[in-house]
């Protein structure tokens, strides 16, 4: 599906973005492992998380959609052996986190996904899971899906992450719930902590000491309702859209403001963004509030590499902001973008060039010369965040987006919400 975005003269309004994808994944998995019934309120219902709901149904959980919510009856810490391959679709979080859960189950299961997912690196989770005693086979000696897992008999390990990755950390912690002795994970830099907050919410074993996180074998735990905050990664598209489009003011309400996810807000403020936010409530350990963005004269900066793990999914839309900023923007520490839904470094560079922006891409960095963009064509490379980020990038001048349907992976109403806010000539 191709979508033509006309030149936009301003963006105005108040919006609620869909539920946080990371929290929805974790809520579906942990509620399925709980004993009893619970409700997951305001989850994201999109391609990736619907794959999670279906996988957990195959493992025995009763998950029903009730309006905007999921009602879940968990099966306890012991899932049932699936009768077929568990299809993770395009969801990298799902396949990695579920590998951790299945490593602790006394059964056999196979995890696979679409062509994009089958190209993404799985060795980063199969390596520690094998150290814990899981038997895992897969293509390229377990470095690529499909993954065949025969679980059970795990032992806790002390594992130092070679890269800062919330997915790998979470995978090991989930496996640790089924392991003899303690399981410890050491991070080289802080990453999003939704798993730790969810463990606390459900009363699961957890200790945090600086950059070390520890868990141990869990006892059966009761189900609890969980409220999912709005996804700041989805809010980011509208924040940047308002900053780069003249005469604009957009307010996002009910957004998760977890401090391990707000790196983009810090960077945009350093670029001169007229940006305000405040925490107004807390939901299941996750701070929630509002963010307001107004049109701003942005300037290029050199981004602190320590902030990248706190905004790794927002780098494409940061690149869109940099294209409209005055001067150069340098974004380092981007090696993780090479192994996302697409090679996002290449995808960002190609789309900036398509829109007339000068850009250089190194092995793990981008340098962008700002000053504005020209009308052109956006190629999403089968990646939801690329499609949305460069639709935003071309808003002030108009842009044509190919394969616009990829946005539905994480934001099914993106195009309608954008049209709702947009004021066109």
CATH code: domain of residue 211: 3.65.10.10
- Average pLDDT on 32-58 reads 98
Residue 2 Cα distances to 19, 375, 392, 401, angstroms: 26, 15, 15, 6
Distance separating alpha carbons of residues 242 and 421, to the nearest angstrom:
10
Residue 291, φ and ψ in degrees, nearest 5? -135, 135
Residue 268 lies in a domain: yes
190/262 same-domain check: no
Distance separating alpha carbons of residues 319 and 125, to the nearest angstrom:
29
Last residue of a domain, one of 151, 185, 215: 215
280/397 same-domain check: yes
333/207 same-domain check: no
- Average pLDDT on 305-324 reads 97
Last residue of a domain, one of 159, 185, 215: 215
Instruction: Give per-residue pLDDT as tens, 133-172.
Output: 999 999 999 999 999 999 999 999 999 999 999 999 999 9
Cis (ω within 30 of 0) for the bond into 146? Answer: yes
Residue showing tokens 């859209």:
241
Q: Is the dihedral angle over the CA atoms 191, 150, 198, 337 positive or is it negative?
A: positive
279/136 same-domain check: no
Instruction: Give per-residue pLDDT as tens, 190-240.
Output: 999 999 999 999 999 999 999 999 999 999 999 999 999 999 999 999 999
Kindly state the DSSP code that residue 259 receives in the 8-state scheme.
T
Q: In this predicted structure, what is the pLDDT of residue 285?
A: 85
**DSSP 3-state of 8:** coil
Q: In this predicted structure, what is the pLDDT of residue 52?
A: 98
Q: Would the pLDDT of 96 be above 90? A: yes
Residue showing tokens 């990755």:
165
Residue 123 lies in a domain: yes
Last residue of a domain, one of 149, 183, 215: 215
Q: In this predicted structure, what is the pLDDT of residue 425?
A: 58
Burial of 242 (0-12, 13-18, 19+ CB in 10 A): buried
Distance separating alpha carbons of residues 203 and 224, to the nearest angstrom:
10
Residue span of the structural domain in which 73 resides? 21-215
The one catalytic residue in 231, 313, 383, 417 is 313
Q: For 7, how many CA atoms within 13 A lie in the half-sphere containing its CB? A: 7
By mean pLDDT, which of 43-52, 92-101, 283-292, 398-407 is the weakest?
283-292
- Print the SS3 string covering 32-85: HHCEEEEEEECCCCCHHHHHHHHHHHHCCCEEEEECCEEEEEEECCCCCCCCCC
180/267 same-domain check: no
pLDDT band at 353 (very low <50, low <70, confident <90, very high): very high
51/101 same-domain check: yes
Q: Would the pLDDT of 284 be above 90? A: no
168/180 same-domain check: yes
295/332 same-domain check: yes
List Cβ neighbours of 377 (8 Å cut-off, separation of 6 or more): 354, 399, 400, 401, 402
Q: In this predicted structure, what is the pLDDT of residue 282?
A: 86
Distance separating alpha carbons of residues 220 and 409, to the nearest angstrom:
33
110/200 same-domain check: yes
Residue 221 lies in a domain: no
State the total domains in the chain: 2
Residue 150 lies in a domain: yes
- Tabulate helix, strand, coil % of the chain (nearest 5): 35, 30, 35
Pairing between strand 35-41 and 226-227? parallel
Concerning whether 417 is annotated as a catalytic residue, the answer is: no
184/200 same-domain check: yes
CB 8 within 8 A of CB 424: yes
pLDDT band at 424 (very low <50, low <70, confident <90, very high): low
Q: Would the pLDDT of 386 be above 90? A: yes
CB burial of 246-263 (b: ≥16 within 10 Å; e: otherwise) equals eebbbbbbbbbbbebbbb
Residue 153 lies in a domain: yes
Q: Dihedral of the CA atoms 327, 332, 335, 337 (nearest 10)?
A: -40
Residue 223 lies in a domain: no
128/266 same-domain check: no
pLDDT above 90 covers what percent of the chain?
Answer: 98
- Residue 137: CB atoms within 10 A of its CB come to 13
Residue 220 lies in a domain: no
122/77 same-domain check: yes
Pairing between strand 86-87 and 135-138? unpaired
Residue 224 lies in a domain: no
pLDDT band at 283 (very low <50, low <70, confident <90, very high): confident
Instruction: Give per-residue pLDDT as tens, 175-201.
Output: 999 999 999 999 999 999 999 999 999
């Amino acid at each position: 599906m191709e979508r033509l975005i006309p030149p936009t003269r301003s963006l105005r309004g108040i919006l609620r973005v869909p539920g946080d994808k990371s929290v929805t994944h974790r809520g579906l998995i942990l509620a399925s492992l709980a004993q009893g019934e619970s409700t997951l309120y305001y989850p994201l219902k999109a391609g990736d998380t619907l794959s999670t709901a279906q996988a957990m149904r195959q493992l025995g959980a009763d998950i029903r959609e009730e309006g905007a919510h999921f009602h879940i009856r968990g099966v306890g810490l012991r899932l049932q052996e699936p009768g077929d391959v568990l299809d993770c679709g395009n969801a990298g979080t799902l396949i990695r986190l579920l590998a951790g859960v299945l490593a602790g189950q006394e059964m056999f299961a196979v995890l696979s996904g679409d062509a994009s997912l089958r190209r993404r690196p799985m060795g980063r989770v199969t390596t520690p899971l094998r150290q814990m005693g899981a038997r895992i086979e897969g293509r390229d000696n377990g470095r690529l899906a499909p993954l065949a897992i025969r679980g059970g008999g795990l032992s806790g390990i002390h594992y130092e992450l070679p890269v800062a990755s919330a997915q790998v950390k979470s995978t090991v912690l989930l496996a640790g719930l089924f392991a003899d002795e303690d399981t410890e994970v050491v991070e080289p830099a802080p990453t999003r902590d939704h798993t730790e907050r969810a463990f606390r919410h459900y009363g699961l074993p957890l200790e945090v000491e600086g950059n070390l996180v520890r868990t141990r074998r869990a006892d059966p735990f009761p189900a609890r309702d969980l409220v999912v905050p709005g996804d700041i990664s989805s809010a980011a598209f509208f924040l940047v859209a308002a900053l780069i489009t003249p005469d604009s003011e957009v307010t996002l309400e009910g957004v998760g403001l977890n401090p391990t996810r707000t790196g983009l807000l810090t960077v945009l403020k350093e670029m001169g963004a007229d940006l305000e936010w405040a925490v107004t409530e807390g939901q299941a350990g996750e701070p929630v509030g509002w963010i307001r963005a107004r049109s701003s004269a942005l300037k290029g900066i050199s981004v602190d590499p320590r902030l990248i793990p706190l905004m790794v999914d927002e780098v494409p839309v940061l690149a869109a902001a940099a294209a409209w900023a005055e001067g150069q923007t340098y974004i380092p520490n981007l090696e993780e973008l090479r192994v996302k839904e697409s090679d996002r470094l290449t995808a960002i560079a190609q789309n900036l060039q398509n829109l007339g922006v000068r850009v250089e891409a190194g092995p793990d960095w981008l340098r962008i010369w700002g000053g504005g963009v020209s009308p052109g064509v956006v190629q999403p490379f089968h990646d939801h965040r690329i499609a949305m980020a460069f639709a935003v990038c071309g808003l002030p001048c108009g842009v044509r987006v190919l394969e616009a349907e990829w946005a539905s992976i994480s934001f099914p109403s993106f195009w309608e919400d954008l049209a709702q806010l947009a004021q066109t000539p």
